Structure 1
Amino acid sequence: MPQFFLNKRLIILLISIIILVSLIGFSLQEKENISRPEQIIKDVVGFGHSLISRPAQGIAGFFENMQDVKNTYTENQKLKARLEGLAKLEKEISDLKKDNEELRDVLKKTDNLRDYRAIQATVLTRDPERWDEKIIVNKGEMSGVKPDMAVITGKGLIGKVISTSEMTATIELLSSENTKNRVSAEIQGKEKEGIFGLISGYDREKKLLLLKDIPVDKKIEAGQNVVTSGLGGVFPKLLDVGKVKEVEMDRYGLTQIAYIEPSADFYDFEHVIIIERLTGKNQGEGKVEE
C-alpha cells in the first residue's frame, strides 16, 4: 500500500512538471492575440521570475560591492605604505644633505688651520636636560685630546674640552651657564690697539654671548667681528666667535659689556673640530686627524 501511494505521488509530480513546462512554452509563443488564461499564466511566470531574480541580483551586487571595498582597502594600504616609505626616504635625504654640508664646512675650516692641529670628532651623546651645556665626542686621550682645548664647528667657536677619557672627551659649550667658562676674546676694529675682553656667560633669552671687562674708553659698534685673542695661552688666535650685536655699561659703570651674536649654532650640530694650539715644540706636527 505505501509503495502504491509513493508511485502515485511521483506520477502526479511528473504530470505537474510536464504541465508547467507546457504552459511556459505556450506562453512564450508569439501571438498577436492571447487569451485571458495565457495572460494570467504569463503574469504569474513573470512575477515569479522577478521575485527570484531581483534578490539574486541584489545578493550578487552586494558581494561585488564587498569585493570592490576589499580591493580598495588593499590598494589604500599599499599606497599608505608607499607614502610612509617616501616620507622616511625624504627624512633620510634631508639628514644626509645636512650631514654633507656640515662635513664640507668642517673640511673648509681645517684647510685654514695652519698653526693648529685639528682633531675631527663626532658627537656621541647630549643630555636633553642639559642640551645647552655639555656634549661628549668620540675622540679622547688616545687621539691627543686634552682639557682646555678649543672646540669649533665649521661656523665658529662653540666651547672647550673640560675632561677626557681614553676614547672620549666632554666639551662644555659657550652657551653654558657656568660663569667660570671664560674665553679671552678680541673685538676687531679700525684701531691699531685691540679691544679685549672675556667671554663669560650667555643670555638665554637673547641667545647672545656676553663679552665682559671691556674698558669704558673703547668705542665699539654693532657689527664688529669678535675672535679669540690667543692671550689665554691655550686657545689659538683668530678663531671666529661672532659679531657685536649691542653694547651697554655694566651695573657699576666701570666697564662695558658687549652682546655677541655667535657665528656657530650651539643647538644643532653633529661634527666638531678639537683644536690643539701648536707651540715651538710641536709646530711641525700640524695636521688634521680623521
Structure 2
Amino acid sequence: MKILQKKRLFILLIGIIVLVALIGYSLQDRDETTTVEQFIKDTVGWAQNMIHTPVDYVTGIFKNIDDVRNTYEENKRLREKVAEYKTLQYDVQELQEENAELRETLEKSESIREYAPIQASVISRSPERWIEQVTINKGTQDGIKENMAVITAEGMVGKVGDNPSKFTSTVKLLTGFDQYNRISATVTRDDTDDVVGMIEGYDEESDQLLFRIIEESDDDLEEGELVLSSGMGGVFPSGLPIGEVKEVKPDQYGLTRTAFVEPVADMYDLNNVIVVDREESVDTADETGEDETA
C-alpha cells in the first residue's frame, strides 16, 4: 500500500516537472513555433472565430433594431417640429394679415373723422343667410342706430339692420339689398354731369350689385368707373366707395338702364368693420323723391 502511494506521488512529481518544463520552454523567445503549438493556436483561433461570428451577427441584428427604433423616434420628433413650424407660420401669416387689415381700418377711420366712426368686429354669420347679413359686437350702448352705414377699409359693405340690441347689431349686407333696402349712389365725373342712381338689388348669378340709373350724363357709363354713395338721403355719408361698373344693360322696355357693379369690399371675408355715425342726419328724400333706405 505504501509502495502504491509512493508511485503515485512520484508520477505526480514527474508530471509537475514536465509541466513546468513545458511552460518554461514555451516562454522562451523563439523564431519558430513547434507543430504542436501551431496546431493548438489554430484550433483555439478557429474555435474563437466559430463562437465570435454568430455572436457578432446577433449583436448586429439587435444594434440595427435599436438604430431603426432611434431613427423612427427621431423622425417622429422631426415631423412634430415641422408641424409646429407650419402652424406657427400660418399663425404669423394670419396675424400679419389681421394687422394689415387693422391698420387699413384705422387709416380709414382717420379719413372719415368728420363723422363718428365706431370700430366693430364680426362675431357671427348665419349659414342660411350667408350673403345677406352678419352680426357685430357693438350695439346701442356704443351709439349704434338703425341704417348707419357699415364699411371696411376697401369700401361700403352694408348698413345696420332694424332693432339693434344693447351689445350686438345685425348688419344687412349690400348683397342682400332689394327694392325695399337701397342706397342713393352716384358716379362722379369732372368734365361731364354725374350719373345718379340707386343700389337696389343683387344678382347672385354674376355676384354683382344692381345700380339702377336714374339720371345719366351725356357720356355712357364705362367699365371700371367707381360707384360711390351720394349722401342725398341724409343718412349715409357721401363718397363711400361701393363698387366698380362691369356692365350696363337696358330693361326690357328700354326705358331705364341697370349697371352691374362689382363690390369693392369682399363680402365673404369680413372680420373688422367700421360703423359710420353721421352726426348731422337729415330726414330728407333724394332728388327722385325716393328715400335712401326703406
Mapping for residues 137-176 of structure 1, pairs under 5 Å: 137-163=136-162, 164-176=164-176
The structure-2 alpha-carbon separation of the partners of 1:30 and 1:76, relative to structure 1 and needing over 3 Å to count, comes to farther
Which residue number in structure 2 is paired with residue 248 of structure 1? 249
Q: Contact 1:216 / 1:254 at 8 angstroms: preserved in 2? A: no
Cα distance between partner residues in 1 of 2:60 and 2:128: 61
Which residue number in structure 2 is paired with residue 71 of structure 1? 70
Cα distance between partner residues in 1 of 2:56 and 2:113: 87
- Is the radius of gyration larger for structure 1 or structure 2? 2
Which residue number in structure 1 is paired with residue 204 of structure 2? 204
User: Deviations for 1:146-194, whole angstroms, at most 9, x for unmatched residues?
Assistant: 1111100011000011131100000011122655331110111235543
TM-aligned CA deviation for residue 132 of structure 1? 2.1
User: Deviations for 1:183-225, whole angstroms, at most 9, x for unmatched residues?
Assistant: 1101112355432111122233433221014357752222222
TM-aligned CA deviation for residue 122 of structure 1? 0.7
The structure-2 alpha-carbon separation of the partners of 1:251 and 1:43, relative to structure 1 and needing over 3 Å to count, comes to farther
Which residue number in structure 2 is paired with residue 260 of structure 1? 261
Mark the runs of 5 or more structure 1 residues left unpaired by the alignment: 1-18, 282-290
TM-aligned CA deviation for residue 116 of structure 1? 1.6
Cα distance between partner residues in 2 of 1:130 and 1:31: 104
Cα distance between partner residues in 2 of 1:178 and 1:57: 85
Q: Contact 1:151 / 1:159 at 8 angstroms: preserved in 2? A: yes
Q: Contact 1:127 / 1:135 at 8 angstroms: preserved in 2? A: yes
Cα distance between partner residues in 2 of 1:108 and 1:252: 45
Cα distance between partner residues in 2 of 1:60 and 1:30: 39
Mapping for residues 186-205 of structure 1, pairs under 5 Å: 186-190=186-190, 193-205=193-205
Cα distance between partner residues in 2 of 1:204 and 1:154: 24
Cα distance between partner residues in 2 of 1:217 and 1:266: 30
Cα distance between partner residues in 2 of 1:144 and 1:157: 19
- 1:266 match: secondary structure: coil
Which residue number in structure 1 is paired with residue 232 of structure 2? 231
TM-aligned CA deviation for residue 60 of structure 1? 1.0
Q: Does 1:123 align with 2:122?
A: yes
Cα distance between partner residues in 2 of 1:225 and 1:33: 109
Cα distance between partner residues in 2 of 1:275 and 1:47: 97
Cα distance between partner residues in 2 of 1:75 and 1:143: 55
TM-aligned CA deviation for residue 130 of structure 1? 3.2
The structure-2 alpha-carbon separation of the partners of 1:199 and 1:32, relative to structure 1 and needing over 3 Å to count, comes to same
Cα distance between partner residues in 1 of 2:179 and 2:44: 102
Which residue number in structure 2 is paired with residue 180 of structure 1? 180
Cα distance between partner residues in 1 of 2:281 and 2:257: 36
Mark the runs of 5 or more structure 2 residues left unpaired by the alignment: 1-18, 283-294
Q: Contact 1:215 / 1:256 at 8 angstroms: preserved in 2? A: no
The structure-2 alpha-carbon separation of the partners of 1:41 and 1:190, relative to structure 1 and needing over 3 Å to count, comes to same
User: Normalising by the residue count of structure 1, what TM-score does the alignment of the two structures yield?
Assistant: 0.78
% identical aligned pairs: 41
The structure-2 alpha-carbon separation of the partners of 1:280 and 1:149, relative to structure 1 and needing over 3 Å to count, comes to closer
Which stretch shifts more, 150-159 or 168-177?
168-177
Q: Using CA pairs below 8 Å that are at least 6 residues apart, which structure has the higher relative contact order?
A: 1
Cα distance between partner residues in 2 of 1:41 and 1:236: 111
CA RMSD of aligned residues (A): 2.8
Which residue number in structure 2 is paired with residue 80 of structure 1? 79
The structure-2 alpha-carbon separation of the partners of 1:280 and 1:159, relative to structure 1 and needing over 3 Å to count, comes to closer
